[in-house]
Amino acid sequence: MSGLVVRMAWRNLGRNRRRSAITGAAVAFALFFAIMIRSMQLGIYSHMIDTVVGGMAGYVQVSDSAYWPSQDIDLSMVADKDWLNQVNAHPNVESASPRLSGFGLFTLAQHSEVGQWVGVDFTAEGTDSWIQRLDAGSYDIPDGQEVMPVWLGRRMAENLNSRLGDTLIALGQGFRGSPASGRLILAGTLKLGNPQLESRVAILHLDDAQFFSGAEGMWGQVLITPKQPEKSLALTPQLANDLPLANALWSSWEERMPELQQAIEADSAGGIVMLFILYMVIGFGLLGTMIMLASERQREFTMQIALGVRRKLLAQMMLLEAFFMSLLGVLAGAVMGRAVTFYFHINPPQMVGEAAEAMESQGWDPVLPPSMDLSIISTHALVVVILTMLVSLWAVSVVYRSPAIQR
């Protein structure tokens, strides 16, 4: 392909600027809407996974072989800090932290709520991640305080009609039949992004949880966050092989929550169908533009062929014109799509009314944060370019069907 053909193809875009603008705009808006649809869809999935899996359940969980799914505190495993250090040192692990959990009754004056208490090692998990979840209060506890601090889900705190500094009474069953009871002082409330979690979760320091339940030196489970969370299912058996632990069960969140994985896959299939319909509509629009372009220029093709221009060069020029138009449209669509998704990433849309109630009833915070994954843009940009090149084959066919003499 000569440089002359490339220059002619580029200059031909300016011969009919309206037609070039219409084609480029069709490509740009096709990519823009594809980016918006897929970014919102994948963003909601990430929000669901981060809320339930990343915050509380863990991408990879290690526990006693009989612990899951009953989560019985009597089936806790003995703490092994040397093994935990090896897990944190593994090249595929971002962080690993132990937890201990159980169930109890929380009482304040005339109000009572049943909830799950969770002992968390804030040092191992990183204070920053928990600061982002803090709705009110603080994690700074004065030295010498005898009453154990507790951080309640904000909806649970509202149901108990509690305020910061109030003293709660907690009752439950501890390790191997021992009573779990004590006074807890409300040090803060948490926003966990999941209404159901916010209605039943109480967070304690891990040491306090062990003392409260009589399970000193025990862990209920160890939550592991891989450096590539999206590969947790494939990474789980590798970690189990590299970091063996007697009588331990290794499980990824996909294995523990198959219903969540299936719901995401089913909804994602629906989104792909919507994109297919979008591309079909845009494809026929681009085809109409190409038919118009080829019809308007058929006399030009005939004249050039009669003057000795090879049909192969004309076909190459038409393909290059289509490629340049698609490239300009892709650049415009990518810029628009990235700008809008960035805005909604900073200011995620909040659902209201019945739609918000429906999402909350399913356990999700009614927000729609888009995904900022750049692969969305690159993937759909490639699809749009390929679609444009396919419809440009009509113009190529017109070139090869044009006679050398126009009668």
Q: Which of these three, 246, 274, 303, is where a domain ends?
A: 246
* 57 falls within a domain: no
Looking at the fold, whether 184 and 308 belong to one and the same domain comes out as no
* 140 falls within a domain: yes
Looking at the fold, whether 290 and 205 belong to one and the same domain comes out as no
Is residue 251 a contact partner of residue 68, using CB atoms and an 8 Å limit?
A: yes
What pLDDT sits at residue 406? 56
Name the one residue in this structure whose structure tokens are 């808006």.
29
Looking at the fold, whether 275 and 381 belong to one and the same domain comes out as yes
Is residue 76 a contact partner of residue 67, using CB atoms and an 8 Å limit?
A: yes
Those residues whose C-beta lies under 8 Å from the C-beta of residue 118, and which sit 6 or more positions away, are 56, 99, 100, 101, 201, 202, 203, 204, 209
Name the one residue in this structure whose structure tokens are 């692969």.
375
Looking at the fold, whether 301 and 344 belong to one and the same domain comes out as yes
Looking at the fold, whether 37 and 70 belong to one and the same domain comes out as no
The rounded distance, in Å, linking the Cα atoms of 207 and 216 is 8
Q: Which of these three, 196, 219, 246, is where a domain ends?
A: 246
| DSSP 8-state class, residue 192 | -
* 290 falls within a domain: yes
* 153 falls within a domain: yes
What pLDDT sits at residue 361? 60
What pLDDT sits at residue 53? 78
* 253 falls within a domain: no
| DSSP 8-state class, residue 367 | B
- What's the Cα-to-Cα distance from 237 to each of 96, 249, 252, 282, rounded to whole Å? 16, 10, 9, 44
In this structure, what token pair is assigned to residue 43? 């963003």
Looking at the fold, whether 238 and 384 belong to one and the same domain comes out as no
Instruction: Give 10-residue mean pLDDT values along the chain (407 residues).
Output: 75 78 86 90 82 77 85 88 91 90 90 91 77 83 76 91 91 87 90 82 91 90 87 88 88 83 82 87 84 81 80 84 89 93 87 68 70 89 90 86 68
- What's the Cα-to-Cα distance from 292 to each of 27, 296, 355, rounded to whole Å? 16, 6, 44
Looking at the fold, whether 237 and 131 belong to one and the same domain comes out as yes
Number of domains making up the chain: 2
Looking at the fold, whether 181 and 311 belong to one and the same domain comes out as no
Dihedral (Cα; 369, 371, 372, 376), 10-degree rounding: -150
What pLDDT sits at residue 360? 63
| DSSP 8-state class, residue 376 | H
* 254 falls within a domain: no
* 337 falls within a domain: yes
What pLDDT sits at residue 364? 63
Looking at the fold, whether 120 and 47 belong to one and the same domain comes out as no
Strands 77-78 and 248-252: unpaired
Name the one residue in this structure whose structure tokens are 């506890």.
141
- Residue 287 phi, psi (nearest 5): -65, -40
3-state DSSP assignment of residue 92: coil
CA 258 to chain centre: 17
Looking at the fold, whether 220 and 178 belong to one and the same domain comes out as yes
Q: How many Cβ atoms sit within 10 Å of the Cβ of residue 170?
A: 20
Query: Residue 70, CB half-sphere, CA atoms under 13 Å: how many?
Result: 9
Q: Which of these three, 212, 246, 280, is where a domain ends?
A: 246
The rounded distance, in Å, linking the Cα atoms of 253 and 243 is 19
In this structure, what token pair is assigned to residue 95? 């962080």
Domain that residue 14 falls in: 3-52+260-401
Q: Where are the alpha helices (DSSP H) in 1-59?
A: 3-12, 17-49
Looking at the fold, whether 104 and 188 belong to one and the same domain comes out as yes
Those residues whose C-beta lies under 8 Å from the C-beta of residue 35, and which sit 6 or more positions away, are 333, 334, 337, 338, 341, 376, 377, 380
* 86 falls within a domain: yes
Looking at the fold, whether 20 and 144 belong to one and the same domain comes out as no
